[in-house]
Amino acid sequence: MKLRYTGSKPEADITQLFSPTMEELFELDEKVVYLDADLMGSLKTQELWKKHPDRVFNCGIQEANMVGVAAGLFLAGYKPYIHSFSPFATRRVFDQVFLSVGYAKKSVHLIGSDAGIMATDNGGTHMCFEDLALMRSIPGACVVDVSDAAMFMYLLKSTKDREGVTYFRTPRRNAPDIYEKDETFEVGKGKVLTEGEDLTIIASGVMTATALAAQRLLAEEGISARVVDPITVKPLDEALVLRCAEETGVIVTAENHNVIGGLGGAVAELVSENCPVPVLRVGIRDQYGQVGTEAFLREQYGLNPEDIVKKAHLALEKKKK
């Protein structure tokens, strides 16, 4: 497929595109409302709040209540989108999301920004390596690890009427453009970004661009890597993952998340039951977060293209055996 990826900074950051997209949603559907918990500055929605005081609510620093208010707004006929940093949008309010929304068969869109290492200077307290695991465990939830702005903006709109819990974990800035602006996306439909025969790299979120960089390094060595973006970690595109397992015989996963319970876990669970081939996981090895720049944290947790390359070599050795 045609990609926009060059590895350089994005044309526009997610913070620049988010408010206009919400505004489009407001125009598209009068029932869409937006709630935040005193982090409007971080997604640059203050202007949106001023402009649409009847559609945008700043709940203050009370995420649990925000989830409940969203649940109540759904009951009154509205379609709430709510935002906080990823640990506060998921870990802190897991019971509220699970029961007041999921179990009670309500529909709410959750946006958790600055997931994993993207929390950088905010450090370990704000560094969520477990949100994919938490949200995956909610029956019927849709879990999106946002790879670039085009994908995020498209899915924000296309999932508007989706039932149940829909969770987006997203970077706010510095996520390289991967997809063309007119690309379309579907829940449960992964994308093959580069064709390849020797192995498959399944990468999500900010690791998708990293996987593309790794693919180029591998190509220089004569290794042909297929790169896949699952688009939604849940529902996982099972047919695509199994086809990759069958055709390339080995899989490397890459995620900005604990290797337990996230993308790697999901792929390994599926593959081991249906087409057992080696699945090697690049991600956080059951550790907590810490302060640092993105580059420092990638170094600390082994999230650079070279780490994927190393894992690919290991994977190919296992494949030979």
Partner 1 sequence: MNERDERLELERFALRIRIGIVEAIAAKGGGHIGGTLDLAEFLSVLYLRFLRVRPEEPDWAGRDYLVCSKGHSGPALYSALALQGFFPYELLRTLNRGGTTLPGHCDRTKVPGIDATTGSLGQGLSIACGLAMGTRLSHTDQKVFCILGDGELGEGQNWEAAAFAAHHGLESLTAVLDWNKMQIDGSNDEVLRLGDPVEKFKAFGWDAELVDGKDVLAIRDAVSRAYRRKGRPGLIVLDTVKGGNIPCIQELPNNHCIGVPAQLADRAMEFLRSEAKRLGVEVAE
Binding span for partner 1 by CB under 8 A among 51-59, 152-160, 216-224, 238-246: 51-59
Q: Is 77 in the site for partner 1 (CB under 8 A)?
A: yes
Taking the CB of residue 182, how many other CB atoms lie within 10 A of it?
A: 7
Q: Is 314 in the site for partner 1 (CB under 8 A)?
A: no
Select 96 or 204, whichever has its Cβ closest to partner 1: 96
Which 106-135 residues touch partner 1, going by CB under 8 A?
none
Catalytic one of 23, 47, 63, 269: 63
How many residues lie near partner 1 (CB under 8 A)? Answer: 29
Among 46, 65, 122, 300, binds partner 1 (CB under 8 A): 65
Peptide bond into 235 cis (omega under 30): yes
Q: Is 46 in the site for partner 1 (CB under 8 A)?
A: no
**Amino acid present at 75:** L
Q: Is 185 in the site for partner 1 (CB under 8 A)?
A: no
Among 8, 75, 121, 161, binds partner 1 (CB under 8 A): 75
What is the closest distance, in whole angstroms, from the C-beta atom of residue 260 to partner 1 in the complex? Answer: 25
SS3 201: strand
Q: Is 96 in the site for partner 1 (CB under 8 A)?
A: yes
Q: Is-contact 289 129, C-beta < 8 A?
A: yes
Buried b (16+ CB within 10 A) or exposed e, 195-233: ebebbbbbbbbbbbbbbbbbbeebeeeebebbbbbbbbb
Among 9, 51, 105, 181, binds partner 1 (CB under 8 A): 105
Distance, CA of 219 to CA of 122 (rounded, Å)? 36
Indicate the angle between helix axes 207-220 and 305-320, nearest 10 degrees.
60
Q: What are phi and psi of 96, to 5 degrees?
A: -65, -45
What is the closest distance, in whole angstroms, from the C-beta atom of residue 75 to partner 1 in the complex? Answer: 6
Among 71, 193, 277, 282, binds partner 1 (CB under 8 A): 71
Select 73 or 280, whichever has its Cβ closest to partner 1: 73
Among 60, 140, 247, 317, binds partner 1 (CB under 8 A): 60
**Pairing mode, strands 225-229 and 191-194:** antiparallel
63 is an active site residue: yes
Q: Is 73 in the site for partner 1 (CB under 8 A)?
A: yes
Distance, CA of 171 to CA of 216 (rounded, Å)? 23
Taking the CB of residue 156, how many other CB atoms lie within 10 A of it?
A: 24
Among 62, 125, 274, 293, binds partner 1 (CB under 8 A): 62
Q: Is 97 in the site for partner 1 (CB under 8 A)?
A: no
Task: List C-alpha distances in Å: 70 to 79, 137, 177, 303.
Answer: 8, 20, 31, 35
Binding site for partner 1 (CB under 8 A): 33, 54, 57, 59-60, 62, 64-78, 80, 95-96, 99-100, 103-105
